[in-house]
Amino acid sequence: GAGVSQSPSNKVTEKGKDVELRCDPISGHTALYWYRQSLGQGLEFLIYFQGNSAPDKSGLPSDRFSAERTGGSVSTLTIQRTQQEDSAVYLCASSLGGTTEAFFGQGTRLTVV
């Protein structure tokens, strides 16, 4: 596609359920980032994939969060046993490399009730 695509755009889930968020980066982009943005807050780094290197997971808030990037393209962010504090907009971005412009998706708005 022409841009970064995220799905679903909105997700409402019950506390304790698992959710999967998907990100389709721009074709050919080797770097992929997941961020989250809680209401009224700034961007919070979650995880960074760069090519075939081991991902930088230093931003994942707990072991309930995990992410994969298959074949160097599509990425899924999984949140297990969701909590209300997980409610946020989850943004995905991709870039050609670590120094180039990042292009963001529209985000997935997650609401845990």
Segment near other proteins (CB under 8 A); pick from 17-25, 63-71, 73-81, 94-102: 94-102
Residues in the chain: 113
Q: Which two tokens stand for residue 78?
A: 């999984």
94 binds other proteins (CB under 8 A): no
28 in contact with other proteins (CB under 8 A): no
Q: Which is nearer to other proteins, 20 or 56 (CB)?
A: 56
Question: For other proteins, how many residues bind (rule: CB under 8 A)?
Answer: 28
Site for other proteins in 36-55 (CB under 8 A): 40-43, 45, 48, 50-51, 53
Burial class (CB in 10 A: 0-12, 13-18, 19+), 104: middle
8 in contact with other proteins (CB under 8 A): no
Q: What is the per-residue DSSP string for 18-87? A: -EEEEEEPPTT--EEEEEEE-TT---EEEEEEETTSPPB-TT--STTEEEEEGGGS-EEEEE-S--GGG-
Q: Which is nearer to other proteins, 16 or 97 (CB)?
A: 97
Q: Does 35 sit near other proteins (CB under 8 A)?
A: yes
Query: What is the C-alpha to C-alpha distance for residues 94 and 81, in angstroms, rounded to an integer?
Result: 27
Residues in contact with other proteins by the rule CB under 8 A: 4, 31, 33, 35, 40-43, 45, 48, 50-51, 53, 56, 91, 93, 95, 97-107
